[in-house]
Structures are given as structure tokens and as C-alpha cells.
């Protein structure tokens, strides 16, 4: 292996196939390598990954617990905004990248690294997300992206070549040629892509899904729980465990409890085709258990507490653009800061409790209540007037009909049917 003399690189290391091979490759190129690992909720043996990285040449391995920051700084605002990309993807990977990038840059500074590196494919979104974050956080940083280096990608045109290289170099990996899909896991979700999944008409193997039980194998009885929101943020989750009522308020514990409920009831699986920022369509399979339920409950409580026009403006401009900004890796941008301020303003009165039910992959709402509701039971009732004069509606309809009458006349004169 080549001697080190080019300086020290901070590598975002997962312990998986790609980054383990990149670690050895960087050493071959003459770099010292500090491995940075983010504990962001993935079910992984971090000490085993540390041992492996040191065995295959890392100078040091830094493991940072980012779970609380991930939930409070990323997942909670996403729930407040009802953030989503292309109507279905809840941005589990996108949400994690800003906190990982920030911590990696801090690690690089502390360890005296001149560069950061990652294992993101040259065709994917994550390279954009990480590198835009790196350059915003430290504008003079050097980024080494092996999957965009012709020497690297010509040597390793696919995962099979990486598996062969790992076998040659004695790098232990869990990925095999029989199961070549890649995975990315954090507290919010687990994603699956590549390999056999690249054929959009291939059904994902049953044993691929890691987090949730199949809906048909979920319990035969529904499970009930309630979520309390304070200014749009989940602040309490009440549920039953072994016949005893339980309550959690800590952000990490609340999120992990929501995950556990959703996972055992088969909630949160999707299989989609999405449009990557780089212009390529991609097939992704995602498990997003707890976040799916908490977001759905949040949407419901907004129906009781959020003004109609505020909700319409938020849905049209903030929700759509916040999701797009997160997906495209523009978290550290002035437009994200602007939208975030709008999110906070919109959620001031989103307080209340949603009673929920999950059953065989489905989430439902049993009821909701709020101290700051805009709903007036008497006014809305069909059994009493409640201060509302139905006769007033005649004038309302007449005014609304003015332009429609003119439009109808115009169409009639033109001989066009409505």
C-alpha cells in the first residue's frame, strides 16, 4: 500500500461496501484517512464498524451521536411543514444529510483534515446534498468524490467490481452479489435502491424490507395511541404497552416509540419512481414508519387549528418548496431560512391531540381535540343556527356568481359547451 504523504482526508464512513472500499482506495492514493460515522438512528454495530475501519487502514474513527439534533432540527420542522417530495416521498435521506454534513465538517476541522470525502454515486442526489452543505459550511473545503473520478469509476464500474476488490483486499462486507441493493438507514427511514430494484417492474423481495412487518402479517387487532402537538411539534405520545398506559415526551423517545408502533403494524412502506435533482429517474423503496404516522396526525390537527387561508398559502408555497429544497440539498441556503421562518409562524396555534389507530399497514384518525381550535360546534351544526344566518348566504352566492354568469354568457355566444 502506498505511503501516506498527501494529507489527511475525513471520510464519511458507513461500514458498508462502498465506503470500506473507498477507505482502502484513498490509502492507496497516499492519503491518511479519518473515518467519520454519524449515529443517526441506524441499527448498526458501531464498535464493529470502528474495528473494521481501523483494521483496513483508518488513522482514526470518530463516531458522533446526532439523533437528537436530527429529530429536533430536521424531523420536527418537516412535520410542521408536512414536507413531502412528489406527493409521496417523506425525505428521510434528505433530512439526515444537513446534520451529517455539519458534523463531518466539524470533525475535519478538529482532526486537521484538508479534505472531506464521501461514497455517494455520481448519478445520485446525495453527492449534491453533501457537497452543497460542505461548501456552505466551509467555503474553502476540498471535496474528494471517488465516484466522479474517472480512475475510480473506470476501475469499479459497478458493485460487482467493488465486491471483487473487497475480496482481493480482505475487506469484510455484508453485501453480496445475490443481494446487491444498497441501503441507507436512519431514525426516520430505511431506503433501498440499485441492483435488481433498478427494473421498476421487479417486485421487491420479501426479505429486503428491514424495519416493518408485512401488512398481512401485522397483528389482527388494531392498536390505538394519541399524539399531542405543541405549535405543530409532537410533544407527547400516549399508548398502551402490555395493558398498561404509557406516555413519552422526550423527542428521541417519542420518535422511537412512534417507530416501534408503526413497525409492528406494517405502516410506512412505499415503492416509487422519483425524479432525481440531477435529471435521472430513479426507483426507490422506502420504509418510513414513525414519521409517516406523525406527519399524518399533524395534517389532521391542522384541520382543526389552522386558518383556511394560512393553510392554503402554506400548502401551495411552503410545503412544496420546502420539500423540494430539502430534496435538492439546499438546506444551508437563504431560501430555506426564509421558508423555515414561515413554517414557525404558521404553527403558532397548531396545538391539540389526535387519537390514532393503526391496523395492518393502515393509519387512521379516531378523533381530535384542541384548546386553540377554530372549529365552532354550534356554528357548524346542522341542527341549530348557532349565530349563522342562512339567508346571508344568498348574497354570498350572488356575488360569487357574477363572473361565472359572464363566463357562461361568453361561452354560449361562442357556441361552446361548458
Q: Cα separation of 350 and 365, whole Å?
A: 17
Whether the Cβ atoms of residue 129 and residue 365 lie closer than 8 Å to each other = no
Which range, of 71-80, 187-196, 250-259, 380-389, averages the lowest pLDDT?
A: 380-389
Which pTM does this prediction carry?
A: 0.92
Active site residue 160: no
Asked if 126 is an active-site residue, the reply is yes
Beta strands (DSSP E) in 242-389 are 244-248, 269-275, 281-287, 352-359, 362-369
3-state secondary structure of 373: coil
Per the residue annotation, which of 102, 126, 184, 346 is the catalytic one? 126
Q: Is 148 a catalytic residue?
A: no
pLDDT digits (tens, 9 = 90+) for 134-161: 999 999 999 999 999 999 999 998 778 9
Of the residues 97, 263, 295, 314, which is catalytic? Answer: 97
Q: Which of 18, 67, 300, 368 is catalytic?
A: 18
Is residue 97 annotated as a catalytic residue, yes or no?
Answer: yes
What are 105-131's pLDDT values in tens digits? 999 999 999 999 999 988 899 999 999
Contact 358, 261 (CB under 8 A): yes
Residue from 94, 117, 182, 346 carrying the catalytic annotation? 182
Of 290, 293, 272, the residue nearest 211 (C-alpha): 290
pLDDT of res. 176: 60
Amino acid at each position: 500500500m502506498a505511503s501516506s504523504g498527501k494529507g489527511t482526508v475525513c471520510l464519511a464512513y458507513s461500514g458498508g461496501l462502498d465506503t470500506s472500499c473507498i477507505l482502502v482506495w484513498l490509502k492507496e492514493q497516499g492519503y491518511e484517512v479519518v473515518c467519520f460515522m454519524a449515529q443517526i438512528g441506524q441499527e448498526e454495530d458501531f464498535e464493529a464498524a470502528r474495528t473494521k475501519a481501523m483494521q483496513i487502514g483508518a488513522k482514526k474513527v470518530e463516531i458522533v451521536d446526532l439523533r437528537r439534533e436530527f429529530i429536533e432540527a430536521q424531523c420536527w420542522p418537516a412535520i410542521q411543514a408536512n414536507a413531502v417530495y412528489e406527493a409521496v416521498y417523506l425525505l428521510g435521506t434528505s433530512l439526515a444529510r444537513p446534520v451529517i454534513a455539519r458534523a463531518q465538517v466539524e470533525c475535519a476541522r478538529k482532526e486537521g483534515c484538508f479534505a472531506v470525502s464521501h461514497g455517494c454515486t455520481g448519478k445520485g442526489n446525495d453527492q449534491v446534498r453533501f457537497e452543497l452543505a460542505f461548501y456552505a459550511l466551509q467555503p474553502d473545503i476540498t471535496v474528494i468524490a471517488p465516484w466522479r473520478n474517472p480512475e475510480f469509476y473506470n476501475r469499479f464500474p459497478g458493485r460487482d467490481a467493488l465486491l471483487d476488490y473487497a475480496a482481493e483486499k480482505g475487506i469484510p462486507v455484508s453485501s453480496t452479489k445475490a443481494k446487491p441493493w444498497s441501503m441507507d438507514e436512519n431514525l426516520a427511514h430505511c431506503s433501498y435502491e440499485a441492483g435488481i430494484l433498478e427494473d421498476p417492474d421487479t417486485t421487491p423481495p420479501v426479505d429486503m424490507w428491514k424495519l416493518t412487518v408485512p401488512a398481512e402479517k401485522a397483528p389482527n387487532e388494531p392498536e390505538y395511541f394519541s399524539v399531542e402537538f405543541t405549535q405543530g411539534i409532537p410533544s407527547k405520545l400516549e399508548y398502551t404497552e402490555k395493558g398498561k398506559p404509557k406516555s413519552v415526551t422526550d423527542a428521541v423517545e417519542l420518535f422511537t416509540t412512534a417507530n416501534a408502533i408503526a413497525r409492528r403494524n406494517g405502516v410506512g412502506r412505499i415503492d416509487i419512481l422519483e425524479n432525481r435533482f440531477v435529471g435521472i429517474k430513479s426507483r426507490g423503496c422506502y420504509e418510513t414508519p414513525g414519521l409517516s404516522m406523525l406527519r399524518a396526525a399533524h395534517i389532521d390537527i391542522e384541520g382543526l387549528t389552522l386558518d383556511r387561508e394560512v393553510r392554503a398559502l402554506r400548502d401551495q408555497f411552503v410545503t412544496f418548496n420546502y420539500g423540494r429544497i430539502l430534496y435538492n440539498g439546499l438546506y444551508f441556503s437563504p431560501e430555506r431560512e426564509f421558508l423555515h421562518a414561515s413554517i414557525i409562524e404558521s404553527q403558532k396555534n397548531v396545538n391539540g391531540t389526535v387519537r390514532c389507530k393503526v391496523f395492518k399497514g393502515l393509519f387512521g384518525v379516531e378523533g381530535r381535540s384542541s384548546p386553540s381550535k377554530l372549529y365552532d360546534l354550534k356554528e357548524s351544526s346542522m341542527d341549530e343556527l348557532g349565530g349563522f344566518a342562512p339567508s346571508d348566504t344568498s348574497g354570498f352566492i350572488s356575488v360569487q356568481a357574477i363572473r361565472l354568469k359572464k363566463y357562461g354568457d361568453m361561452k354560449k355566444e361562442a357556441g361552446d359547451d361548458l
